Structure 1
Amino acid sequence: MPLPKKSTKTRLIKAALDLFAERGVTETTTKAVAERAQVNEVTLFRHFGNKHGLLLAVMEDSAVFAKLGQALLEQADPKVSVSQALKDYAEISLQALDRVPKLVRSVVGEAGQYPLENRLALGQGLTQANNHVAKHLAEVIAGVGWQSRFPTEKLASFLNSLLLGYFIIKSTSEGDELWEGQDDFLESLVELFLHGAIEPPMETNAIPRKKIVLDQVVDLPANLVRDILQRAKKLGRQDYALAYLLFGAGLSVKEIVNLKRSHLITEHNQHLLQIDSDTKRQVLLNKWIMGFRYGSSSSNPATQWLKSRKDNQPEMFITQEEKSMSEQELLASWQVLTEGFVLPNGQTPTIEQARQTWCVEMLMKGIKLEDLGILSGLAVEELQPYAQRAREKLAIEQAGLLDQKKSKSS
């Protein structure tokens, strides 16, 4: 039987991907793409509008960067050492990039000239790659009993950034004498991760390592938090409850996916959460978040979600198949909640920033650092950057009040 004929749109995307890889985005014309796909150039415009629209379709369809994470899945063998898994993944990733060097250089080098939707598509592709790698990186590390000193999402982003940066430098410049070759770079990369980012299980008589303290806190603006919560409310009760716990209780990803229905406690006209993680504690669910009220003494997004449930699953958050929600699925929900939102620095909000935002807001409301440590499960030294950020925001507020008084007296 003859093979089914590919659609015009599919042929155009395939032709564009091939030409972008051969010539780069700038040197590829819509006419050349149309000729390669054996269609009229008008047909290309009818489907995609212009070359940037075509590039957007190529990014979404091919997911060049997002597919790199599959390499680590193939290395997630408990018999393979962490160092070997990292090196194998790095080699496979660089080989994948090396197959389309012009496309990578062109997409990265010209990204500043793209419309916002193209930059968002590129960012989403990189985020997908990081999330995919984070999941399997966690499996590799846990499989040998090691642990990461950072959230695996950040670890994956750091790893991919180093690989992409090395590839860009290697493929665009000559005479770099820092590395003797790719093997030298990979060995240094693995060494950096093994001795700086991940660590073996601590021996019983070993001296505990000092906890990592954040150098900088990037909390989210109040209007963005409001937009995320409003979008969550429109998406459904579970999404609304998830966003509410992120910003109203400051929980980590691991803590949220481990919540049970029974962990929600109502007493003395307030709602509490029992957290059974490494730091067992109770956390109050805030009624007010960044100037807006989301709950009352009898009801809030979390209680409304649980009351609407018809299943018998003990987990607080579940999938559509009524199974316990995984960390990866929670991260996917966060992507939906924040899709299209961009911070002043041009980056998309990360789920860790929800907890940072909660910590900063609690300090601005006047809670003591030691008490916040009890609620958050974080050590006081880990909370110092949050205290600094809270002081910065309070200083700005104070300056604003003084400016208003000056305006009234003038």
Structure 2
Amino acid sequence: MAKSSREKIIRSALTLFLSQGVSQTTTRQIADLAGVNEVTLFRNFGNKYGLLQAVIQSAPTFRTLGEALMAQTIATGDRHQALKTYASECLSALEQAPAFVRSLIGESDQFPTENRQALGQRIEEASRYVAQYLEQTMPTSLFSSERLSGYLGALLVGYIVIESTCDEHHLWASREDFLEGLVIVLLGSTTVSGDSMHYAVADSPLLVQDLPAPVVHQILSQAKAAGTQDHALAYLLFGAGVAPAEIVGVTRAHHLSAKTQHTLHVGDRQVSINQWIWGKRYGSYTSNPLTKWLKSRKDESPWLFIQESADLIALDVDVIEQKWTAWTQNLALYPTTHADQAKQTWCVEMLTRGMSVDNLSILSGVTPEQLAPYLQRAREKAALEQARLLDQKQT
């Protein structure tokens, strides 16, 4: 069997497993989607569960998610944000395939031993990266890094199960609230006193790393030169304050462009996409870098941003960071920027332009308490601007 045909069958099986679950997928459906004879599928994989094992073994998701955590830690230098971004990416991957998750949980007792072992090995593969990260960054804890890594995986899967099966609950206020609490629990130091256990959150105040307006416009210019999609991506980063980990799960259906508004649904919130970014206008509500990118597309992929491959899959955080590096490689004064700084810059701009902390919290998904450093930074910029204007009046 040609390698391309085998890969086509595996990709087709993965597509159907993700969209409708394992039990609802037949080998005939997989063969039809792959454009091969069903006998060919049986000859090479034995049965549907043999194909499921091949899908699990070949899927890079667990490895790439684990690698993304280490990359985020290096890029941001902020262990809280790095772990939160990683957890959010894991949830995004799980949220894109609720039927597959339900199949793995509800039907796993029907899977052959080989399938269960293969799945366990892939989960353990990602867990090792998380354990290494926790071992390097965690304060002294009651539990080992390996056990904490296992708890993280269990909590993330538990979140997906609850959200996909319960219409209403009050366990957490939002997805953002769940992620924030999860990171605090995992990164907090644990001590035991008498018969009770106490958690103390590590003191790690946020350092706001917003970028000055000329640098923002230079990055947008570089992104425009790189292509229509790059320009649209950079525009969304700076114009809507959407983090890379949030962008990867956004589809075309989440975007709304009309004469009176330009908005994007991100998770459980809606955010406005600005026409103006630090004093410069980047189009109108109906004609801007994002709408131009969407109008130029001829593909049928549902994702708002796609990788340059035959599969037309969504961009991942690593690809976004690679694009960011290309846009910023000539910024001599800012050699170590990262894509998350775009959201920080957007938060500071919104506060500078007069938005209240409460309203910014609603749009950004960041709690008012977490926005306190941004408010201080906005005040600093306002004070500098006032000093500049006063100096001009003297001349």
Length-normalised TM-score, structure 1: 0.51
1:228 lines up with 2:161 in the alignment: no
Letter in 2 for 1:328: D
After TM superposition, the structure 1 = structure 2 runs for residues 69-218 of structure 1, keeping only pairs within 5 Å, are 134-135=67-68, 137=70, 149-151=80-82, 190=135, 192-193=137-138, 200-201=151-152, 208=181, 209=184, 214-218=205-209
How far the C-alpha of 1:216 sits from its partner, in A, is 1.7
Q: Give the structure with higher Rg (CA).
A: 1
Once residues 371 and 84 of structure 2 are traced to their aligned partners in structure 1, the CA distance between those partners, rounded to angstroms, is: 21
How far the C-alpha of 1:152 sits from its partner, in A, is 5.2
CA pair 225-363 structure 1, distance change in 2 beyond 3 A: same
Aligned residues: percent identity? 41
Letter in 2 for 1:285: I
Contact 1:341 1:348 in 2 (8 A): no
Which residue pairs with 2:253 in the alignment? 262
Q: Describe the SS at the equivalent of 2:313.
A: coil
Q: Describe the SS at the equivalent of 2:331.
A: coil
1:400 lines up with 2:345 in the alignment: no
Deviations 1:18-59 (A, max 9, x none): xxxxxxxxxxxxxxxxxxxxxxxxxxxxxxxxxxxxxxxxxx
Letter in 1 for 2:305: F
Letter in 2 for 1:329: V
CA pair 214-268 structure 1, distance change in 2 beyond 3 A: farther
Which residue pairs with 2:322 in the alignment? 332
Once residues 351 and 222 of structure 1 are traced to their aligned partners in structure 2, the CA distance between those partners, rounded to angstroms, is: 15
Contact 1:259 1:316 in 2 (8 A): yes
Letter in 2 for 1:315: W
How far the C-alpha of 1:402 sits from its partner, in A, is 1.1
Q: Describe the SS at the equivalent of 1:314.
A: coil
1:291 lines up with 2:291 in the alignment: no
How far the C-alpha of 1:373 sits from its partner, in A, is 0.2
How far the C-alpha of 1:132 sits from its partner, in A, is 10
Letter in 2 for 1:193: M
Which residue pairs with 1:25 in the alignment? none
* Segment drifting more, 383-392 vs 266-275: 266-275
How far the C-alpha of 1:195 sits from its partner, in A, is 5.2
Deviations 1:195-235 (A, max 9, x none): 58986436999995488874321110111111110111111
Once residues 358 and 188 of structure 1 are traced to their aligned partners in structure 2, the CA distance between those partners, rounded to angstroms, is: 29
Superposition misfits of 4+ residues, deviation over 6 angstroms? 196-199, 203-207, 210-213
Once residues 188 and 326 of structure 1 are traced to their aligned partners in structure 2, the CA distance between those partners, rounded to angstroms, is: 20
How far the C-alpha of 1:325 sits from its partner, in A, is 1.3
Deviations 1:328-377 (A, max 9, x none): 1111111111112133xx64211111111000000000000000000000
After TM superposition, the structure 1 = structure 2 runs for residues 27-42 of structure 1, keeping only pairs within 5 Å, are none
Once residues 193 and 347 of structure 1 are traced to their aligned partners in structure 2, the CA distance between those partners, rounded to angstroms, is: 28
Q: Describe the SS at the equivalent of 1:286.
A: coil
Of 303, 306, 322, 1:318 maps to 306
1:308 lines up with 2:296 in the alignment: yes
Which residue pairs with 1:219 in the alignment? 210
Of 354, 368, 382, 1:366 maps to 354
After TM superposition, the structure 1 = structure 2 runs for residues 13-24 of structure 1, keeping only pairs within 5 Å, are none
Once residues 213 and 250 of structure 1 are traced to their aligned partners in structure 2, the CA distance between those partners, rounded to angstroms, is: 23
Structure 1 residue runs without a partner (length 5+): 1-75, 79-84, 86-130, 140-147, 156-186
Aligned-CA RMSD value = 3.8
Contact 1:214 1:382 in 2 (8 A): no
Deviations 1:224-277 (A, max 9, x none): 11111011111111000000000000011111111101111124521100112x
CA pair 406-151 structure 1, distance change in 2 beyond 3 A: same
Aligned length: 238
Q: Describe the SS at the equivalent of 2:287.
A: coil
Length-normalised TM-score, structure 2: 0.53
Once residues 230 and 276 of structure 2 are traced to their aligned partners in structure 1, the CA distance between those partners, rounded to angstroms, is: 18
Structure 2 residue runs without a partner (length 5+): 1-59, 73-78, 87-131, 160-170, 173-177, 186-200
Which residue pairs with 2:9 in the alignment? none
Which residue pairs with 1:64 in the alignment? none
Letter in 1 for 2:266: I
Letter in 2 for 1:335: T
Which residue pairs with 1:102 in the alignment? none
Q: Describe the SS at the equivalent of 1:273.
A: strand
Deviations 1:173-206 (A, max 9, x none): xxxxxxxxxxxxxx99926437589864369999
Which residue pairs with 1:30 in the alignment? none
Q: Describe the SS at the equivalent of 2:369.
A: helix
Of 322, 328, 331, 1:341 maps to 331
Q: Describe the SS at the equivalent of 1:233.
A: helix
After TM superposition, the structure 1 = structure 2 runs for residues 246-285 of structure 1, keeping only pairs within 5 Å, are 246-267=237-258, 269-276=260-267, 280-285=268-273
* Segment drifting more, 319-328 vs 244-253: 319-328
* Segment drifting more, 211-220 vs 222-231: 211-220
Of 368, 374, 385, 1:386 maps to 374
* Segment drifting more, 381-390 vs 322-331: 322-331
Letter in 1 for 2:135: V
